[in-house]
């Protein structure tokens, strides 16, 4: 969430940042109003506390001097002030909760270099690699939801029977391909990132720290009985590894990676293409994540983008990179890039990775700090990216590597994971 002190001291700067995202300042104005009331009440409460302390000392002195009647009068005054102090304390706490709730709903401020725009139509393309629209044959223009059943590698009909709509099931070489992509995504990043296998169910506090709650509760799967949530991405538990901790500055940047299942309701998917592997409630993904100082963060962001591009490129897939404009950013994002892969069978650019820098927005929610030079503590910056999201990369591989004489070639980078096979037949 945003720094309340910055909202107090630079309200016009914050308003301008939110305006770039198309956000009205109503909630911000409400924060300022409630914060002013809270601070006034807190000052009155503290003044009463000091007066009560003074009266308590006075009562003790009067008793020592044998002036019991006067001491009783002072005690009565102290009790009355104490009741008022408790009322003020409760009201101050309530206002503090209201301010925090509003802060949890206000989005992050965009980086000055983030492009302005109103929607995904305004996201500028940074680069396109390996794409030749005339370089694909008719055999590659068959969508994976037709190729999958043809070769027995995608069985969504039975997945729906087992779990309901928008669940998928890979079989045979399709299951091997999904597993190979996960291991490949980890192996590509093991040189710099510590592998973690975090829990797939997390607490409300953990999901709140990344920005999913309270705003996006409808998109998440919950286990109400235990106050647990299924993770929508490994970013959620990785962000909270050092929640409520102070990280040794010498350890920064700290890098983690995790391969997990991810769960999303896709509540806003009505009208979108949900065939095949394009949009599902459960999918596997390798996530990379980092804690950093503000000075380290820009280079880390560039490194994450480059790593993702290199991984997709090494699979022999055409891809393009877009920078996300202010009107299309997620709530927590400070600056963000998407990598999209071209799937010839669906003739679509499919988003396979979102790489984002959150500044101190998530760290403030999770109270994750470090000690910069000069003493005191400051919030770390967090970054994350999809190193390899399986479903759409799977789809692009199946379509791109489909042979004119039948079967699907295995990309050379994945051959070590295919038990000696070089083709899905």
Going residue by residue through the chain, which has 425 residues, state the pLDDT in tens, using 9 for 90 and above: 999 999 999 999 999 999 999 999 899 999 999 999 999 999 999 999 999 989 988 888 888 888 888 888 888 988 899 999 999 999 999 999 999 999 999 999 999 999 999 999 999 999 999 999 999 999 999 999 999 999 999 999 999 999 999 999 999 999 999 999 999 999 999 999 999 999 999 999 999 999 888 888 888 999 989 999 999 999 999 999 999 999 999 999 999 999 999 999 986 555 567 789 999 999 999 999 999 999 999 999 999 999 999 999 999 999 999 999 999 999 999 999 999 999 999 999 999 999 999 999 999 999 999 999 778 999 999 999 999 999 999 999 999 999 999 999 999 999 999 999 999 98
Helix then strand then coil, in percent of the chain rounded to 5, is 45, 20, 35
Give the strand pairing for 254-263 and 381-389: unpaired
Domains, the chain: 4-105 (1.10.287.40), 120-424 (3.30.930.10)
Q: What would the pLDDT profile of 264-304 be if each residue is shown by its tens digit?
A: 998 655 556 778 999 999 999 999 999 999 999 999 999 99
E-assigned strands of 366-407? 369-370, 378-379, 381-389
Q: What is d(CA 348, CA 27) in angstroms, rounded to the nearest whole number?
A: 38
Asked whether the beta carbons of 193 and 315 are under 8 A apart, the reply is no
Asked whether the beta carbons of 386 and 285 are under 8 A apart, the reply is yes
Please provide the average confidence, as pLDDT, over all residues in the chain.
95
Q: What is d(CA 203, CA 222) in angstroms, rounded to the nearest whole number?
A: 10
Count CB neighbours of 147 within 10 A.
Answer: 22
Coil/strand/helix, residue 173: helix
Sign of the four-CA dihedral 47, 53, 58, 63: positive
Coil/strand/helix, residue 386: strand
What pTM was estimated for this model as a whole? Answer: 0.92
Buried b (16+ CB within 10 A) or exposed e, 227-243: ebbbbbbbbbbbbbbbb
DSSP conformation letters of 245-309: -EE-GGGPSEEEEEEEEEE---TT-TTS--STTSS-SEEEEEEEEEEE-TTTHHHHHHHHHHHHH
């Amino acid at each position: 969430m945003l720094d309340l002190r910055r909202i107090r001291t630079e309200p016009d700067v914050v308003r301008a940042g939110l305006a770039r995202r198309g956000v009205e300042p109503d909630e911000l104005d409400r924060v300022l109003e409630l914060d002013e009331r809270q601070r006034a009440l807190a000052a009155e409460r503290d003044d009463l506390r000091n007066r009560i302390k003074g009266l308590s000392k006075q009562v003790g002195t009067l008793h020592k001097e044998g002036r019991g009647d006067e001491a009783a009068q002072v005690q009565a005054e102290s009790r009355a002030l104490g009741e008022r102090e408790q009322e003020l304390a409760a009201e101050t706490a309530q206002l503090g909760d209201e301010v925090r709730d509003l802060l949890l709903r206000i989005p992050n401020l965009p980086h000055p270099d983030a492009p302005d725009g109103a929607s995904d139509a305004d996201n500028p393309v940074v680069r396109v690699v390996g794409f030749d629209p005339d370089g694909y044959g008719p055999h590659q223009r068959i969508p994976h939801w037709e190729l999958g059943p043809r070769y027995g590698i995608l069985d969504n009909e039975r997945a729906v029977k087992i779990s309901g709509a928008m669940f998928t099931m890979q079989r045979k070489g399709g299951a091997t391909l999904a597993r190979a992509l996960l291991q490949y995504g980890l192996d590509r990043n093991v040189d710099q990132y510590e592998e973690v296998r975090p829990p797939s169910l997390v607490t409300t506090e953990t999901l709140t720290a990344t920005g999913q709650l309270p705003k996006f509760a409808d998109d998440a799967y919950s286990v109400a009985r235990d106050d647990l949530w299924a993770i929508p991405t490994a970013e959620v538990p990785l962000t909270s590894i050092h929640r409520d901790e102070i990280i040794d500055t010498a350890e920064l940047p700290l890098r983690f990676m995790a391969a997990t299942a991810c769960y999303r309701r896709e509540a806003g998917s009505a009208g979108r293409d949900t065939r095949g592997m394009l949009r599902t409630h459960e999918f596997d993904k390798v996530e990379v994540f980092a804690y950093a100082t503000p000075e380290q963060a820009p280079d880390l962001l560039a490194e994450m983008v480059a790593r993702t591009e290199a991984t997709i490129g090494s699979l022999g897939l055409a891809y393009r990179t877009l920078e996300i404009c202010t009107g299309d950013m997620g709530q927590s994002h400070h600056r963000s890039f998407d990598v999209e892969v071209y799937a010839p069978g669906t003739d679509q650019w499919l988003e396979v990775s979102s790489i984002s820098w959150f500044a101190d927005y998530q760290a403030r929610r999770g109270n994750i700090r470090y000690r910069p030079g000069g003493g005191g503590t400051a919030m770390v910056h967090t970054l994350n990216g999809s190193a390899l999201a399986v479903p759409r990369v799977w789809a692009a591989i199946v379509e791109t590597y489909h042979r004119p004489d039948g079967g699907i070639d295995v990309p050379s980078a994945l051959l070590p994971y295919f038990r000696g096979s070089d083709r899905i037949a």
